[in-house]
Amino acid sequence: MNDFAHLAVTRASLDNCVKCTICETQCPVMAVTSKFPGPKYIGPQAERFRNGESVDHSLDYCSGCGICTLSCPQGVQIAELNAQARAVMKEDHMPLRDQLVSRTTVMGALMTPVAPLANGALRIKPLRKIVQAIVGIHEDAPMPVANGRTFEAWFNKRPKRTTPAPRGALVFFHGCAGEYFEVETSIKSVEVLEHIGYEVLVPKQGCCGLAQQSNGLFDTATKAVLKLCDELTSAGKDLTIISSSGSCTGMLKHEAHEIMGVDDSRLKDVGTRIRDISEFLLELHDQGELPEDFQRIEQVVPYHAPCQLKSQGMGLPVIPLLELIPGLTVVESGANCCGIAGTYGLKKEKYEIAQAVGKPLFDMVKATNEGLAVCDTETCRWQIRKGTGVQVEHPVWLIHKAYGLS
Amino acid sequence: MSTPHVVVIGSGLAGLTAAHRLMAGGARVTLVTKGLGGLQLSQGTIDVLGYAPGRVERPLESLASLPAEHPYRTIGAEAVATALGYLTDVVVDDLLAGEAAQNVWLPTAVGAVRPTALAQPSMLGGQCVRGARFVIVGPKQLKDFHPALIAGNLARTDLPDGGRLDARPASFDLPGRDHEVDSSGLTYARALDDPAFRARFAAAVKPLVEPGESVGLPGILGLKDRNAWRALQDLIGHPIFEIPLPPPSVPGMRLNETLTNGLKAARARFILGSKVVGFAADGDVLRSVTLGEAGRQVVIAADAFVLAAGGFESGALDMDSYGVVTDTIFGLPLVGLDAPLIHGDYWGAAQPVFAAGVAVDSSMRVLDGDRVVYANLRAAGGVLAGAQRWQELSGDGIAAASAVIAADSILGGRA
Ligand SMILES: Cc1cc2nc3c(=O)[nH]c(=O)nc-3n(C[C@H](O)[C@H](O)[C@H](O)COP(=O)(O)OP(=O)(O)OC[C@H]3O[C@@H](n4cnc5c(N)ncnc54)[C@H](O)[C@@H]3O)c2cc1C
Ligand code: SF4
Ligand code: SF4
């Protein structure tokens, strides 16, 4: 049973709600569908009436994007309340689909050795129709493209570093997507960090459990996140941990603690040591320690900051970072969410909503791109690629290029 | 100082205005804010002074007669005029009209007649003057807009110019989307950004209007498209005007988005969703604030700081169960705390507690008696002591003007 979700202290924050409607104006789901009554109603208002059973199942339409919590001036943890209530609501009848999409490592590991086959299979319409009918993943939903090699395989096959790293060691956390699907982003991140003088350590590591958390599977997610903390710490106790997986970073920084109530010194330790790669590089710049011998890139690049990155409350480090590159102009999407919100937009009953949420963003990217858009989180990139046909990559690709590494 | 780095705390009208002014003056700005500020709870107008305590016609001329401890006495009429001019001409581009010196009288969502200094051009057709002829029209599926209530109250009100106006209600059927029967104004505003929906809306309104009438519509006439209301007016073929609704206030959102987007475009660093949880100082110099980000605390050092975190309504000031009032951010000395802070007469006189806050000198530096607390800290907006903002309708003007003074005095090298 999800004890924390039942008893959560997050509940206490509901009394701070002054019914100002600020969260409602920002909720991306409420904006596009009348099926979802919005954060104020489904969060602090409905929570008063919950005692185990949820009074209103429209709760399931909350995508968990966290934009409401971010915008609330009164500190109500709306998205967290919703996530806990959903975990309780679905406790005894979790759909097979929600269990499946949340097992990112399993999906990735199964697909990698047979990548061409898996990619082919996911693109075959009749097969996707069957998948939709049986497990409820929408036939048109964006799916990851499995890579022929894993990041780990690349990392382990490289010649070892022979010169000492002048800036010392960092730990790299690649996340499941960075291991199996978005392998290039992981590689480029490591190469950038090495280029500026760090030794990069990559301990063997599993999944952070984010997808399970967002689907209400708190027990499995808790085990996963703690195991990951041990693995990341095994590389060195006080080292800074860097990740280019925007949403998984958020899971370690705050979501595991705030949503699932994981109160463990290992998580606390890792949560304070982990940095998003752009956050880290911008910090170096602010301290005057980032090498800025960037090559010119004469380009306008649309940038979408994923909801789960914004939720980390650090602003948008990508914009000032990328604009250190001469010639580069970044245009912020201004969209609160791309619609996918982790695994939300894959589900057949949410697919249309997720597409509608993404529409203004897709239009913006189509109108402003010159062949490339950037975004920090994997699933969002899949969603934007699918919605626009434009190449969408992690911002570190541009840093990598500007350092002359690609 | 070459390029000063300034941390602004809060993204209400005060924080946003200060940040704009600082950026325009060449400072590097980091704006940190726990959540969105109060602008989208406002009417989307800029009030200077509405009641003192009687109706105020010419607000700038009335400032000098306010009590000595009122923030306007320190701010002064000139700064108010500068700030409002700055907002209108430089920052919000065609979103505000009017002048600080002269109030206009506009209808509210309950049909009261309300004074304000600057209003959105889409509202100005609703000026409540003798002989005006209004038809108040709204879609039945919109919540919080009741034409009969508004028209009835307007028609029975003695106007500031001594006359009366004519107002009658009308309504029509047009859901904001799907089959929704209680849509918020925001749902309609988003729909009205779309020319096709606008045409249907106009077609429903047009037959309800008689020659010579101005059409009072809910304040929902477009969110992103700033000319939506003009397009609608052309389609309807009669003068129209917007009446702001209770939150979510679409006119307030327009102001908030314009100010926020402008700052982002100017490349201020905008950190939303994190609270200031601590600070460090050396004697009378503030060195840094500490931000409670996800997972860890981040120290942001700066040359100067603007406290624009609002008052009780935003949690910047707090009263505990013993009645002790504190500034939750810097623990600054507060004034206005003598006498009983709260009296039991709910509908009676203003509650003294709402006038509590910090005292400041003429460059908005916070004072402890006669002593400046931190030489490089300025305060602006709802945190300033001495005003009953919501009752006087003075909060906007205080926020904008104190923000401009704070910014200018930092830029003037007096940080
Ligand atoms: C019910 C009511 C009605 C009113 N009606 C009117 C009216 O009709 N006319 C009028 O002129 N005035 C009115 N006022 C007053 C007016 O709303 C305020 O004076 C004005 O909005 C203050 O603006 P501000 O920028 O100072 O603060 P706010 O808009 O309150 O913004 C404060 C900001 O600070 C942030 N913040 C707070 N604490 C922290 C922290 N620890 N760390 C980081 N950020 C923090 C908040 O998130 C917020 O963004 C009314 C007030 C109330 C309460
Ligand atoms: S923004 Fe916060 S205080 Fe306002 S309605 Fe939403 S939960 Fe309540
Ligand atoms: S988490 Fe996102 S979808 Fe859910 S209520 Fe909040 S803003 Fe809306």
Q: What is the pLDDT of residues B147-184, one digit of tens each?
A: 999 999 999 999 999 999 999 999 999 999 999 999 99
pLDDT score, position A132: 64
| CA separation for the pair B70, B73 (Å, rounded) | 6
Say yes or no to pLDDT of A131 above 60. Answer: no
Take atom 7 of ligand 3 and give the residue whose Cα is closest.
Answer: A27
Test A254 with B294 for CB contact under 8 angstroms: yes
pLDDT score, position B413: 64
Whether B218 and B134 share a structural domain: yes
Is B248 inside any structural domain? no
Whether B332 and B390 share a structural domain: yes
Say yes or no to pLDDT of A5 above 60. Answer: no
- Residue that terminates a domain, selected from B199, B224, B243: B243
Say yes or no to pLDDT of B415 above 50. Answer: no
Other Cβ atoms within 10 Å of B413 Cβ, number: 8
Is A277 inside any structural domain? no
Whether B367 and B334 share a structural domain: yes
Q: What is the pLDDT of residues B378-409, one digit of tens each?
A: 999 999 999 999 999 999 999 999 999 999 99
Tell me the residue length of chain B: 415
pLDDT category at A113 given cuts 50, 70, 90 is very low
User: What distance in angstroms lies between residue A299's CA and the mean position of ligand 3's atoms?
Assistant: 34
- Residue that terminates a domain, selected from A21, A54, A89: A89
Q: Does B74 touch chain A (CB under 8 A)?
A: no
Is B295 or B374 the better-scoring residue by pLDDT?
B374
Q: Is A209 helix (H, G, I), strand (E, B) or coil?
A: coil
| CA separation for the pair A306, B285 (Å, rounded) | 37
Is A272 or B93 the better-scoring residue by pLDDT?
A272
Test B186 with A24 for CB contact under 8 angstroms: yes
**Rounded average pLDDT over A298-317:** 96
Take atom 2 of ligand 3 and give the residue whose Cα is closest.
Answer: A65
Interface test with B, best of A21, A30, A68, A280 (most B CBs within 10 A): A21
Say yes or no to pLDDT of A81 above 70. Answer: yes
Average pLDDT along chain A: 87
Find the angle CA(B349)-CA(B102)-CA(B358) to the nearest 5 degrees. Answer: 45
Q: What is the pLDDT of residues B58-69, one digit of tens each?
A: 999 999 999 999
Whether B262 and B178 share a structural domain: no
The pair of structure tokens assigned to B352 is 């003294």
Is B119 inside any structural domain? no
Is B209 inside any structural domain? yes
**Rounded average pLDDT over B48-74:** 96
**Rounded average pLDDT over B210-232:** 97
Find the angle CA(A92)-CA(A93)-CA(A95) to the nearest 5 degrees. Answer: 145
Take atom 2 of ligand 2 and give the residue whose Cα is closest.
Answer: A72
Whether B217 and B333 share a structural domain: no
Supply the range of the domain harboring residue A64: 4-89
Say yes or no to pLDDT of B358 above 90. Answer: yes
Test A310 with B272 for CB contact under 8 angstroms: yes
| CA separation for the pair A96, A79 (Å, rounded) | 24
pLDDT score, position A117: 47
**Rounded average pLDDT over B265-283:** 96
Smallest CA–CA distance, residue B52 to chain A, in Å, is 27
Is A141 inside any structural domain? no
Distances (CA, A) of B223 to A379, B71, B188, B191, B258: 30, 33, 9, 9, 11
pLDDT category at A163 given cuts 50, 70, 90 is confident
How far is C-alpha B329 from the chain's CA centre? 22
Whether B178 and B288 share a structural domain: no
| CA separation for the pair B159, B128 (Å, rounded) | 7
**Rounded average pLDDT over A309-333:** 97
pLDDT score, position A135: 57
Is A99 inside any structural domain? no
pLDDT score, position A240: 97
| CA separation for the pair A305, A316 (Å, rounded) | 7
Supply the range of the domain harboring residue B271: 5-96+254-411
Nearest ligand atom owner, CA of A45: 2
Number of domains in chain A: 2
User: What distance in angstroms lies between residue A79's CA and the mean position of ligand 3's atoms?
Assistant: 6
Q: What is the pLDDT of residues B302-323, one digit of tens each?
A: 999 999 999 999 999 999 999 8
Q: Does B299 touch chain A (CB under 8 A)?
A: no
Number of Cβ pairs < 8 A linking chain A and chain B: 93
Strand partners, B139: B172
Whether B299 and B402 share a structural domain: yes
Average pLDDT along chain B: 96
pLDDT score, position A342: 81
**Rounded average pLDDT over A24-29:** 97
Is B110 or A87 the better-scoring residue by pLDDT?
B110
pLDDT score, position B405: 98
pLDDT score, position A357: 96
Interface test with B, best of A34, A278, A311 (most B CBs within 10 A): A34
Which chain B residues are Cβ-neighbours of A253 within 8 angstroms? 293-296
How far is C-alpha A325 from the chain's CA centre? 25
Give A137's DSSP letter: B
What CATH number does residue B293 fall under? 3.50.50.60
Alpha-helical segments (H) within A216-255: 218-233, 246-250
Whether B188 and B258 share a structural domain: no
What CATH number does residue A55 fall under? 1.10.1060.10
Say yes or no to pLDDT of A8 above 80. Answer: no
Whether B27 and B133 share a structural domain: no
Residues in B 140-179 with any Cβ partner in A closer than 8 A: 177-179
Is B114 inside any structural domain? no
| CA separation for the pair B184, A25 (Å, rounded) | 10
Say yes or no to pLDDT of B73 above 60. Answer: yes
Whether B262 and B235 share a structural domain: no
Other Cβ atoms within 10 Å of B410 Cβ, number: 27
Number of domains in chain B: 2
Task: Tell me what ipTM this predicted complex has.
Answer: 0.94
Is A370 inside any structural domain? yes
pLDDT score, position A110: 45
Pocket of ligand 2, beta carbon within 6 A: A 17-23, 39-40, 44, 72, 74, 76, 78
pLDDT score, position A125: 63
The C-alpha torsion from A385 through A387 and A388 to A392, rounded to 10°, is -20
Distances (CA, A) of A182 to A151, A205, B88, B281: 9, 16, 48, 45
Take atom 6 of ligand 3 and give the residue whose Cα is closest.
Answer: A68
User: What distance in angstroms lies between residue A333's CA and the mean position of ligand 1's atoms?
Assistant: 27
What CATH number does residue A338 fall under? 3.40.50
- Residue that terminates a domain, selected from A89, A122, A157: A89
Say yes or no to pLDDT of A7 above 50. Answer: yes
Test B296 with A252 for CB contact under 8 angstroms: no
Tell me if A82 CB under 6 Å of ligand 3.
yes
Which chain B residues are Cβ-neighbours of A313 within 8 angstroms? 271-274, 291-294
Nearest CA to B86 among B332, B320, B259?
B259
**Rounded average pLDDT over A380-399:** 96
How far is C-alpha A68 from the chain's CA centre? 17
Is A216 inside any structural domain? no
Smallest CA–CA distance, residue B10 to chain A, in Å, is 10
Q: What is the pLDDT of residues B110-155, one digit of tens each?
A: 999 999 999 999 999 999 999 999 999 999 999 999 999 999 999 9
- Residue that terminates a domain, selected from A89, A115, A134: A89
Pairing of strands B285-293, B296-301: antiparallel
Nearest CA to A105 among A172, A66, A152, A155?
A152
| CA separation for the pair A228, A209 (Å, rounded) | 9
Is B218 or B340 the better-scoring residue by pLDDT?
B218
Tell me the residue length of chain A: 406
What CATH number does residue B132 fall under? 3.40.50
Tell me if B38 CB under 6 Å of ligand 1.
yes
pLDDT category at A1 given cuts 50, 70, 90 is very low
How buried is residue A125: exposed, middle or buried, by Cβ count under 10 Å (0-12/13-18/19+)? exposed
Tell me if B10 CB under 6 Å of ligand 1.
yes
User: What distance in angstroms lies between residue A64's CA and the mean position of ligand 3's atoms?
Assistant: 5
Whether B239 and B269 share a structural domain: no
Whether B220 and B136 share a structural domain: yes
Q: Which of A133-137, A225-229, B48-52, B274-278 has the lowest mean pLDDT?
A: A133-137
Q: Does B270 touch chain A (CB under 8 A)?
A: yes
Say yes or no to pLDDT of B376 above 90. Answer: yes
With a pLDDT cut of 70, the percent of chain B lying above it is 99
pTM: 0.94
pLDDT score, position A138: 81
